[in-house]
Amino acid sequence: MTDALKDLKERLAEIEDYQAIFAVLEWDQQVNMPPEGAEGRGYAIARIAERAHNLSVSEEMIRSLEDAEKSVIGMDADADDVRLVKLCRELLDKEIKVPSDWVSEFAQTTAIAHNVWEEAKAKNDFALFQPHLEKIVDMRRQYAGFFKPYDHIYDPLLHHFDRGLNTADLVEIFSALRPRQVELIRHISSRPQVDDSILHGHFPEKEQWDFGVEVITAFGYDWNRGRLDKAVHPFSTGFNRGDVRITTRIYENLAGSSLFSCMHEAGHALYSMGSAPALARTPLSSNHSMALHESQSRMWENLVGRSKPFWKHYFPKFQSRFRSQLANVNQADFYRAINKVEPSFIRVEADEATYNLHVMLRFEVELALVENRLQVKNLPDYWNTKFNEYFGITPPDNSRGVLQDVHWSAGYIGYFPTYSIGNVISVQLWEAVRKDLPNLDEQIEKAEFKPLLGWLVENIHRHGAKYECQELVKRVTGSKIDPQPYLRYLESKYKDIYGA
């Protein structure tokens, strides 16, 4: 390694250490922190954000990167180090546009907003959260402003989570998804409805927890490098590849909710755990495309976790844990129940057929907010009206409406679309997996997940953030991001369940 590269990597390691610390503070805030710790935590989080930012844009970093750029001239363009230098340049050119004061103020704002959101959601009190969200929207508009000129004000926000996607891509992909998904839902609603009452009994917390643990352990989640906790909103976070944590929440009156969230978050965690050790403490281990990340979480949750082969193995185990609740249920009925399609209020509980509509709604709302077509104070009405247009039902309260998601309280405007793009990518990748693993279904029927995970590590996880989503999808599938496989998957799955 050249001296210049060595110097750059030392600087990057310092920034990555601070980002890991930031993540610990946030994890603790969501999992453990007592209510009155919020103010102090806000100060702490703001310090770390400011520090990481200042290091990223320091004179020394700029010079170090310039030297490293010179030192990799002529090297293989696909080498890790060359990719690293390229990514650093992108990150620096972006970071340098954001004033340090903005960074620490935003970190502090969201640290406080998060706790207010929790309270507002619990009390169904949007007015409590409103001023915090107003400030977040204002600051996010300000943030986008640092990147003028842009094609769309939403682009810089989206790039914060996925540097390889543009607002125009989303509009195009959603335009392809929307009519076919609406048509599918219409078809389904014309068919006899599936009975999922068996999922609405009493399912004791401990049994749900243990079953979730059993399943994600089989997936390959490594407990020496992670842990599972309860949180208001399920999430995953990683401090380094030796410490990648996930959370869940458990509703005792609803089977499956916690389980599917465990599988989803474990999907994220497996991606982070699979990153090559050589990428540790560089941005190649942390600046993933969120659409790719969601492709992994949605793959384990849906393509594995809501599939027939999976439940062929696990239904008897699940049934034996909840013997009284599921005594007279057979596997086929259970499979249909967990795949019931129905307009519903909560995104994270939504079936696969309606899920993307929840995302499209949020995308529309976010566009309206950042384009200044919508005031935060009018957001609940706007949400409820739009929700009714999409789903034909109106949320009974804001907790089950506009307050349901954690994202905005954390400043995440521009994140939601990555879920849907993740869905789309997941099926493209799944088709590639199937080609290489012709016995995939039989393996899943035996809870043998090693071949699948091995394939994912080899083709996706180990690369960390080396490739943007379009590039990786192309490398693996030969095609750019394409909604058609996902639509075919949905149509085929639900015509099997609901009839053609």
Catalytic residues: 265
- Residue 36 CB-density burial (10 A; 0-12 exposed, 13-18 middle, 19+ buried): exposed
- Report if residue 96 touches its own copies, rule: CB under 8 A: no
Determine phi and psi for 228, rounding to 5 degrees: -120, 130
The nearer residue to its own copies, 39 or 101, going by C-beta atoms, is 39
Q: Which stretch binds its own copies (CB under 8 A): 42-50, 165-173, 185-193, 446-454?
A: 42-50
Cα separation, 144 vs 157, in Å, equals: 6
Measured distance CA(408)–CA(227) in Å, rounded: 25
According to CB under 8 A, which one of 159, 268, 281, 466 is a site residue for its own copies?
281
Nearer to its own copies, 40 or 179 (CB): 40
Q: Kindly state the smallest distance separating residue 290's Cβ from its own copies, in Å.
A: 22
**Using the rule CB under 8 A, is 32 a contact of its own copies?**
yes
> Is 47 near its own copies (CB under 8 A)?
yes
Q: Which of 6, 10, 43, 189 binds its own copies (CB under 8 A)?
A: 43
Neighbouring C-beta atoms of residue 390, cutoff 10 Å: 18
Q: At its nearest, how many Å lie between its own copies and the CB of residue 40? A: 3
Does residue 34 bind its own copies (CB under 8 A)?
yes
Minimum CB separation from its own copies for residue 15, in Å?
Answer: 10
How far is it, in rounded angstroms, from Cα 419 to Cα 305?
17
Does 480 bind its own copies (CB under 8 A)? Our answer is no
Nearer to its own copies, 4 or 33 (CB): 33
Angle 205-219/308-321 helices, nearest 10 degrees? Answer: 140
Instruction: Enumerate long-range contacts of 98-104, CB under 8 Å, 24 or more apart.
Output: 98/53, 98/143, 98/146, 99/146, 100/50, 100/53, 100/54, 100/57, 102/139, 102/142, 102/143, 102/146, 103/49, 103/50, 103/53, 104/46, 104/47, 104/49, 104/50, 104/53
DSSP string, 172-211: HHHHHHHHHHHHHHHHHHTSPPP--GGGSS---HHHHHHH
Return the range that interacts with its own copies (CB under 8 A); candidates 17-25, 253-261, 291-299, 408-416.
17-25
Nearer to its own copies, 37 or 451 (CB): 37
Residue type present at position 353: A
451 binds its own copies (CB under 8 A): no
> What is the nearest approach in angstroms of its own copies to the Cβ of residue 50?
10
123 or 347: whose CB is closer to its own copies?
123
DSSP 397: S
Is residue 60 within the footprint of its own copies (CB under 8 A)? Answer: no
Which of 4, 33, 177, 350 binds its own copies (CB under 8 A)? It is 33
What string of H, E and C letters represents the secondary structure of 267-330? Answer: HHHHHHHCCCHHHCCCHHHCCCCHHHHHHHHHHHHHHHCCCHHHHHHHHHHHHHHCHHHHCCCC
Binding of residue 270 to its own copies (CB under 8 A): no
Site string for its own copies, 240-259 (x = CB under 8 A): xxxx-x--------------
Report how far residue 254's alpha carbon sits from residue 203's, in angstroms, rounded to the nearest whole number: 7
CB nearer to its own copies: give 3 or 28: 28
- DSSP β-ladder status, 243-248 and 236-240: antiparallel
Identify which of residues 111 and 424 has a Cβ nearer to its own copies in the complex. Answer: 111
**Smallest gap from residue 363 Cβ to its own copies (A):** 35
Among 20, 292, 424, 469, binds its own copies (CB under 8 A): 20
Beta carbon nearer to its own copies, 58 or 385:
58
* CB distance 363 to 161 below 8 Å: no
> Of the ranges 24-32, 75-83, 305-313, 428-436, which one interacts with its own copies (CB under 8 A)?
24-32
Q: Candidates 3, 10, 13, 389: give the one binding its own copies (CB under 8 A).
A: 13
- Work out how close the CB of 21 gets to its own copies at its nearest, in angstroms, rounded to a whole number: 5
Rounded Cα gap, residues 468 and 292, in angstroms: 8
Q: Which two tokens stand for residue 109?
A: 């704002």
The residue count for binding its own copies (CB under 8 A) is: 38
Give the angle 333-339-345 at the CA atoms, nearest 5°: 130
Q: Does 9 bind its own copies (CB under 8 A)?
A: no
Q: What is the DSSP letter of 75?
A: S
Taking the least distance from each CB to its own copies, the nearer of 33 and 403 is: 33
> Which residues in the 198-237 window bind its own copies by CB under 8 A?
222-227, 229
Q: Which stretch binds its own copies (CB under 8 A): 11-19, 362-370, 418-426, 454-462?
A: 11-19
447's CB contacts (< 8 A; 6+ apart) are: 218, 313, 314
Strand partners, 236: 246
Select from 9, 11, 41, 321 the one that contacts its own copies (CB under 8 A).
41
State the Cα–Cα distance between residues 10 and 1, nearest whole angstrom.
12
Q: Catalog residues that contact its own copies under the rule CB under 8 A.
A: 13-14, 17-18, 20-21, 24-25, 28, 32-41, 43-44, 47-48, 51, 222-227, 229, 239-243, 245, 281
